[in-house]
Chains A and B, each alone.
Chain A
Amino acid sequence: MPIVELQHVRKAYDTKIAVADLSFTIEPGSMFGLLGPNGSGKTSSIRMMIGITVPDSGTVSLFNKPFSRDLLKRVGYLPEERGLYKKMKVMDQLIFLGQLRGLDATTASKRAHDWCDRLGITSSIDKKTEELSKGMQQKIQFISTLLHEPELIIMDEPFSGLDPVNAVLLMDTLIDLRKQGRTILFSTHRMDQVEKICDNICLIHNSHLVLSGSMREIKSRYPVNRVLLNFTGDDSFLNHPTIHSAKNYGGHVEILLNDGADAQALLADAVRTGTRITRFEVMEPTLEEIFIEKVTEGSTGIPAGEKVNA
């Protein structure tokens, strides 16, 4: 039973097509990444999932039911453009937003205190929101999204504008939530950030779906033919027949192997010639590489007719 299901969803604003024929499903308890560069239609898609806008055509289902506003009680949404009442005190604000999502004041206050404690902002709860730093405000907004313990958490660019420490803190929090069985959808244009935490992804570009499916399955479609290698000494092993191309940054080499070649043979050859190897990593292409490959091939890959009529 999918938690979110989009079927052939399309949205246009006047002349600009924001989302063209987007379909995907999100399974319960998974971490879903909606990826794509800026302006590719991520926010437009998310807005249709939570009923801020209505698709021109296609259907949106939440919790296996056609979209209705009642279902939003089970959803937590963090918009891309953060917004809080500037003049309100942090705790008042959290309680107010909690109440709007159906909590009573006491429960909202208790949970808000717990969360502030967990994210380390307890000292600021009596301050006015406008007195806080942007990162702090983002944490408050993050908390407000989770107060009513939603089954589905939708976050639009949750890590943008955060320092690395806080970005990791929020990422760990999301991983914890997934462990508790919540379903999480987030969008980002930083593909390297999400590679390790997403179960499933959907890549969109220029309002079109480029790639979707489980992370593992997508990666397995691509050969494990990249080698990262750090060495000192003789570099003659770089002429080994298994190597298709290599970029040598002076001791750090990025190697692309020939199809079907075995990296093990390369390592053996390097060791035999007396080169000291300090790192040897065989890997599949990164999400970013896959995306770039897809998009460059996609400029011819997406049929012209689809752009007009989809």
Chain B
Amino acid sequence: MHNIWLIAKREYLERIRTKAFLIATILIPLFMGVFVFGSGYLANRTKSSAHIAIVSTDASFSADLKQELQSGKNSGMRVDLLAPTSASDTDEIRANLDRNLHDNSGDLTGYLVVTSPSQSNARALFTYVPRSAGDISTEDTLSTAIQNVITREGLTHQGMGSTDIAALMAPVKIDTSKTGDSRAAFGAAYLLFFLMYMVIMLYGMNTARSIIEEKTSRVFEVMLSTIKPDEMLAGKILGVGAVGITQVGVWMLAAAILGSTSLATGLIGTGHSLISFTQIFFFVVYFIFGFLVYSSIAAALGAMTNSEQELQQLNMFLVIPLAFCFLMIFVIVHAPNSTLAQIVSLIPFCSPLLMNFRISLTTVPPWQIGLSFVLMSLTILAILWVASRIYRVGILMYGKKPNLPEILRWLKYS
């Protein structure tokens, strides 16, 4: 026990003193926050500022559309109105606009041609020619604006007053102040998911790297002349894990403090704290389990390889289960309590990410949480058993990378 403690202590102190630890502690949540909230913010707040031209003979329609596009809810476009006098004039205008689009110095984003219907009750034809084919957002904005204008015209046609129309067309507001902003809650859950993914990956790899470092510097041979390989492995995992918990602890503390201050409410705009105490608690617990599962795998990988490069080739064993979790979050977001969501969140390799994610989104029955703990514990024991055997033999092996039959043979060595 004393030796395990010594190894863990050294590992912890040496790691926590590094600049890399300090940088990761500050930068990772910063990046995650900017990524999750920044992308949401941008998607919500940016108005389309495109410059388009409308070619239409229907002056009142194009004026309405211009009004909608310039001062609508999501757009602040610049709009030029062009009214052709004849069919040949239309062709000429279009040719001019095309030249503008093909010219690099042209300032048009695209132009819309409205062709009046041949029959009076049919819809007009809308042709949009963009500068770049992939510009979906302008197209979407246009489509919504046209829809609004047509609806408004139709309603006016039916004899409705403009105030009535405005009231009818006003966006619906759903009051979620009782439970907090659900977008923000989803954002927070997403943030935690990313953070968990990052730390499990980071600290799993750190365990493997630390083993390879000892292997290449040959320190372990000195160590093995005094202590058992199992003690070394245990001390290493505990030491690296303690660094991870420290880091996660700092983050969670910061989140708790930030969440309770006015800054967070100002940012999110509701009185509910962004990340709850329950979420923090489960994050720490699932991090511990997740770290143990993945660092045990990483320890075995580290013992099998001789260099970081070789480790890179094998780290798919860590990445594949984690990537699988990424795919599964879409299932869980839409139906956090579906059978599929329940099953995948109980898979021990996925529980740390997916069960924790579900807990953030919905109320998970306690037995499922308990079951995930039991399954993860059993998995950890099994992996550790295999890993310690591979470790014991592997750290003494240099040169050639072992193949599968050799590794299986290692398991039989006592």
Contacts and interface: CB of A to CB of B under 8 A. Distances in A.
Given A52-B224, A72-B226, A96 B217 contact: no
B177 interface: no
A63 to B, nearest CB: 16
Contact of A100 (B3, B218, B396): B3
B14 A83 contact: no
B339 interface: no
A82 B40 CA distance: 54
A96 B213 CA distance: 17
A90 interface: no
A83 B6 contact: no
A58 B123 CA distance: 97
Contacts of A84: 217, 219, 222
B12 to A, nearest CB: 12
B394 to A, nearest CB: 13
B220 interface: yes
A57 interface: no
Given A69-B228, A75-B225, A81 B6 contact: no
A50 B226 CA distance: 9
B308 interface: no
Interface in B331-377: none
A87 B221 contact: no
Given A87-B14, A144-B222, A99 B6 contact: yes
Interface in B195-251: 213-214, 217-228
B10 interface: yes
A86 interface: yes
Contacts of A86: 213, 217
A85 B6 CA distance: 14
Contacts of A173: none
A88 B225 contact: no
Interface string B379-410: 00000000000000000100000000000000
A85 B228 contact: no
A79 B213 CA distance: 17
A17 to B, nearest CB: 17
Contact of A52 (B6, B7, B214, B396): B396
Contacts of B214: 83
B218 A79 contact: yes
B225 A82 contact: no
A69 B230 CA distance: 13
A183 interface: no
Chain A contact patch, size range: 20 to 34
Contacts, number: 53
A265 B84 CA distance: 134
B222 A79 contact: yes
A88 B222 contact: no
Interface in A69-127: 69, 72-73, 75, 77, 79, 81-88, 96-97, 99-101
Contacts of B217: 83-86
A144 B213 CA distance: 20
Interface in B52-70: none
Contacts of B219: 83-85
B218 A83 contact: yes
Nearest to A144: B222
B218 A96 contact: no
Contacts of B228: 69
Interface in A123-151: 141, 144
Interface string A38-73: 000000000000111100000000000000010011
Contacts of A100: 3, 6-7, 223, 226-227
Interface in B239-281: none
Contacts of A141: 222
A52 B221 contact: yes
A52 B220 CA distance: 10
Most B C-beta atoms less than 10 A away, residue of A69, A73, A79, A84: A79
Contact of B14 (A72, A73, A88): A88
Nearest to A148: B226
A101 B10 contact: no
A50 B218 contact: no
A86 B18 CA distance: 13
B225 A83 contact: no
Interface string B1-17: 00100110010001000
Nearest to B18: A87
A83 B221 contact: yes
A99 B6 CA distance: 8
A137 to B, nearest CB: 10
Contacts of B7: 100
Given A52-B396, A85-B14, A96 B6 contact: yes
25 contacts: A50-B225, A51-B225, A52-B224, A52-B225, A72-B225, A72-B226, A77-B225, A79-B218, A79-B221, A79-B222, A79-B225, A83-B218, A84-B222, A85-B10, A85-B217, A85-B219, A86-B213, A88-B10, A88-B14, A96-B6, A100-B3, A100-B226, A100-B227, A101-B226, A144-B222
The 3 closest A-B pairs by CB, nearest first: A83-B218, A83-B219, A77-B225
Given A77-B222, A101-B226, 20 more contacts: A50-B225, A52-B224, A52-B396, A69-B228, A75-B225, A79-B225, A81-B218, A83-B214, A83-B220, A83-B222, A84-B217, A85-B217, A85-B219, A86-B213, A88-B14, A96-B10, A100-B3, A100-B6, A100-B7, A100-B223
